[in-house]
Amino acid sequence: MITADFHASRNEPRRLAQSNYDVVKAVVEQIVKHSPNCIIIVVTNPLDAMAQAALKVSGFPKNRVLGMAGVLDSARMSTFVAMECKVSVENVHSFVLGGHGDDMVPLPLFDRAEFPPRSVAKESIDAIVERTRKGGAEIVNLLKTGSAYYAPSAAAVEMVKRFLRTRKRFSLAPLPEGEYGIKGLFVGVP
């Protein structure tokens, strides 16, 4: 369920959150009824609020309701780093934490790229961080209607694979209760 409308007017955020809350509530009620032991990966925007809604409506324990944002944003950042350094994106491992919007925290220091280290100008790094932060809006502007779907779908599948197989460290949005000094907010953490 991917809904990421970027707002044209002041009331848009509230209308988006309310309309998407209604969708999330209806879907989660069905999830609880038909798959009461599952893990819910929330993709709907505004991500942190909709993950909170899914947790509340489902009544699931907090370790079974997670927001998908970091894997998507990290993949975008890796792509931009790979383009800048002219290497395969397979050799770049980025890490993006925090929210899935302007409060996103793309971490340049986490970019471990398996190729001869080369200096990347600070301006280029800043541009990559900014482009990562605005990645969703860039696609919405290109698509004109609707929201991104390939990358978010691939990111959700990647999260499922990592849960099931690799346990490879990645960024996701759980509900910290004091970890990392954060309490009660769905936010991207390792």
Q: Residue type at 135? A: G
CA distance 91 to 167: 19
Contact (Cβ atoms closer than 8 angstroms) between residue 98 and residue 106: no
CB distance 100 to 135 below 8 Å: no
Residue 158 Cβ, how far from ligand LAC at the closest point, in Å? 14
Residue of 77, 76, 81, 41 whose CA lies nearest to 60: 41
CA dist., res. 69 & res. 170, Å (int): 10
Nearer to ligand LAC among residue 85 and residue 186 (C-beta): 186
Active site residues: 100
- Closest contact distance (angstroms) between CB of 182 and ligand LAC is 21
Shortest reach from residue 181's CB to ligand LAC, in Å:
26
What is the torsion angle, in degrees rounded to the nearest 10, for the CA atoms of residue 51, residue 141, residue 18 and residue 32? -40
CB 26 within 8 A of CB 58: no
CA contacts within 13 A on the Cβ side of 152: 22
Chain residues that interact with ligand LAC, rule: CB under 6 A: 2, 4, 45, 72, 100, 135-136, 139, 147-148, 152
Of the two residues 50 and 92, which places its CB atom closer to ligand LAC in the complex?
50
**Minimal distance in Å, beta carbon 13 to ligand LAC?**
13
Nearest residue to ligand LAC by CB is 136
Nearer to ligand LAC, 4 or 97 (CB): 4
Nearer to ligand LAC, 157 or 183 (CB): 157
CA distance 188 to 70: 6
φ, ψ of residue 185 to 5 degrees: the values are -125, 130
Q: What is the nearest approach in angstroms of ligand LAC to the Cβ of residue 147?
A: 5
